[in-house]
Amino acid sequence: MSDGNLGVQGWLEQVFFGGMELSVLSTPAFIVLIVAQRVYPDAVPIAGLQAIAAGSIAIAAFRNEAVDVGTWPRRSELTSLPLRLVYFSAVFFLATMGVAHAVHTAGSWWLVLLGSVVQVVGLAGFPTAYQLVHGDPVLKPVERV
What is the tens place of the pLDDT at every residue in 21-74?
999 999 999 999 999 889 888 889 999 999 999 999 999 999 888 888 988 888
Nearest to 71 by CA among 127, 22, 124: 127
Task: Give the total residue count for the chain.
Answer: 145
C-alpha–C-alpha distance, residues 94 and 51, integer Å: 10
C-alpha–C-alpha distance, residues 66 and 43, integer Å: 31
Return the higher-pLDDT residue of 23 and 3.
23
Q: Which of 53-57, 77-81, 101-105, 114-118 has the lowest mean pLDDT?
A: 77-81
Instruction: Please tell me the predicted confidence (pLDDT) of residue 145.
Output: 56
What percentage of the chain has pLDDT greater than the value 70? Answer: 92
Average pLDDT, the chain: 88
Number of neighbours of residue 30 by Cβ within 10 angstroms: 16
CB 138 within 8 A of CB 77: yes
Return the higher-pLDDT residue of 4 and 123.
123
Give the confidence band of 141 by pLDDT, cuts at 50, 70, 90. low
Return the higher-pLDDT residue of 5 and 60.
60
| pLDDT at 114 exceeding the cut of 70 | yes
C-alpha–C-alpha distance, residues 67 and 138, integer Å: 20
Read off the pLDDT of each residue in 109-130 and give the average, rounded to a whole number.
Answer: 93
Nearest to 19 by CA among 44, 47, 45, 51: 51
Sequence-distant (≥ 6) Cβ neighbours of residue 119 within 8 angstroms: 50, 51, 52, 54, 55, 58, 91, 92, 95
Distances (CA, A) of 106 to 19, 38, 47, 103, 118: 30, 18, 15, 5, 17
Instruction: Please tell me the predicted confidence (pLDDT) of residue 65.
Output: 86
